[in-house]
């Protein structure tokens, strides 16, 4: 019996200058992904990925399409290495499920057959632009809270939000709000909110027992009410984009439940920028369905670290450089993962 696997894709924060350059040089399929993104976005995103500068790449408006493009380039190169023209292999590897962390969910939709490359390039370009606008309109950020009880942290955020919104001028729907935004792993939750509220919540979390409070290298209050206005423009962009029923279930960031219906996927993509990412529940759902082998495809290894805390003993195969593609191909053969 063939082991079922899940393909997982990283989100913003995993970008770094130089990412994807090796796979661009090595794989025709990967070059096709970068060419499509460059064409749709109207500027050489590939050059920005390979050469920087870092400050420009880190900007939300660029980081989001860059991470998706690089992730898809590695996926394309991996599947190319498993394709029928390679006599040792019968077919590319089909996962039982796909999922992505935040903007990685857009990548997951492509892997699941619901979006094509040019469609996702357009959407993540719009997503990054709209979220950047809210960064400017209502400055904020995110912080990882390590080693704190979830309920106590929720009380901290509720208390701060209640106080700050009572004092706010209400010029923006996110003013004064801070929430639990990313449920990454047990004992590791990221909070997100408007800057003053976030700083107050971080200080209060330390007072109430958090082991560590780590500001995240993002420029906005993602997955919080600060991003609510972005959902309106994003929904309009999504309506202009061809999205099909997924042939592979995509696990929702919002509900940690599988989605295949095209309209449900449209709703998910629009709303998740202002909703919490239920990553712990996502991995728990997948393990409940018998998934014990996870492929993290894209830059960095942040998801692997989370999975190790959620599903101890799982097999995690990273594909974030050309050498890892070769290792992954060998692992597919070793574990008999192809049908």
Residues with catalytic function: 102, 223
289 contacts 249 by C-beta, under 8 angstroms: no
172 phi and psi angles, rounded to 5 deg? -145, 140
> 281: which residues sit within 8 A by CB, 6+ positions away?
183, 256
Report how far residue 329's alpha carbon sits from residue 279's, in angstroms, rounded to the nearest whole number. Answer: 27
Q: Which residue has the tokens 């592979």?
A: 248
221 phi and psi angles, rounded to 5 deg? -90, 70
Report how far residue 172's alpha carbon sits from residue 236's, in angstroms, rounded to the nearest whole number. Answer: 21
193 phi and psi angles, rounded to 5 deg? 175, 180
212 phi and psi angles, rounded to 5 deg? -145, 145
251 contacts 258 by C-beta, under 8 angstroms: yes
209 contacts 148 by C-beta, under 8 angstroms: yes
Tell me 30's DSSP state.
H
Instruction: For 3-17, give the DSSP string.
Output: PPEEEEE--TT---T
Q: Given strand 140-146, what is the order of strands in its sheet?
A: 178-185, 188-194, 140-146, 212-215
Report how far residue 214's alpha carbon sits from residue 20's, in angstroms, rounded to the nearest whole number. Answer: 28
180 contacts 191 by C-beta, under 8 angstroms: yes
140 contacts 195 by C-beta, under 8 angstroms: yes
Nearest CA among 222, 248, 181 for reference residue 8: 248
């Amino acid at each position: 019996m063939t082991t079922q696997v899940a393909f997982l894709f990283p989100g913003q924060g995993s970008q770094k200058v130089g990412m994807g350059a090796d796979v661009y040089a090595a794989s025709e399929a990967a070059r096709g992904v970068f060419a499509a993104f460059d064409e749709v976005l109207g500027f050489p995103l590939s050059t920005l990925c390979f050469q920087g500068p870092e400050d420009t790449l880190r900007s939300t408006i660029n980081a989001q399409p860059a991470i998706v493009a690089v992730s898809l380039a590695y996926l394309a190169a991996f599947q190319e290495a498993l394709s029928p023209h390679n006599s040792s292999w019968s077919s590319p590897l089909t996962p039982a499920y796909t999922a992505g962390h935040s903007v990685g969910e857009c990548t997951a939709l492509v892997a699941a057959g619901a979006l094509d490359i040019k469609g996702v390039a357009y959407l993540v370009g719009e997503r990054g632009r709209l979220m950047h606008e809210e960064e400017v309109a209502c400055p904020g950020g995110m912080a990882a809270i390590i080693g704190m009880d979830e309920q106590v942290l929720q009380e901290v955020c509720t208390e701060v939000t209640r106080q700050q919104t009572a004092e706010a001028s209400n010029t923006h729907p996110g003013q004064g709000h801070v929430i639990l935004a990313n449920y990454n792993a047990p004992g590791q939750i990221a909070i997100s909110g408007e800057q003053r509220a976030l700083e107050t919540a971080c200080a209060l979390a330390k007072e109430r027992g958090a082991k560590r409070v780590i500001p995240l290298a993002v420029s906005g209050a993602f997955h919080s009410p600060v991003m609510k206005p972005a959902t309106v423009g994003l929904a309009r962009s999504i309506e202009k984009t061809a999205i099909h029923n997924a042939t592979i279930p995509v696990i929702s960031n919002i509900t940690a439940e599988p989605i295949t219906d095209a309209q449900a996927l449209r709703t998910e993509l629009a709303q998740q920028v202002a909703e919490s990412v239920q990553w712990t529940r996502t991995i728990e759902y997948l393990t409940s369905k018998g998934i014990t082998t996870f492929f993290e495809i894209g830059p960095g290894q942040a998801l692997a670290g989370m999975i190790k805390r959620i599903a101890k003993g799982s097999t995690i195969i990273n594909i974030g450089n050309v050498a890892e593609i070769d290792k992954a191909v060998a692992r597919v053969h070793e574990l008999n993962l192809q049908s």
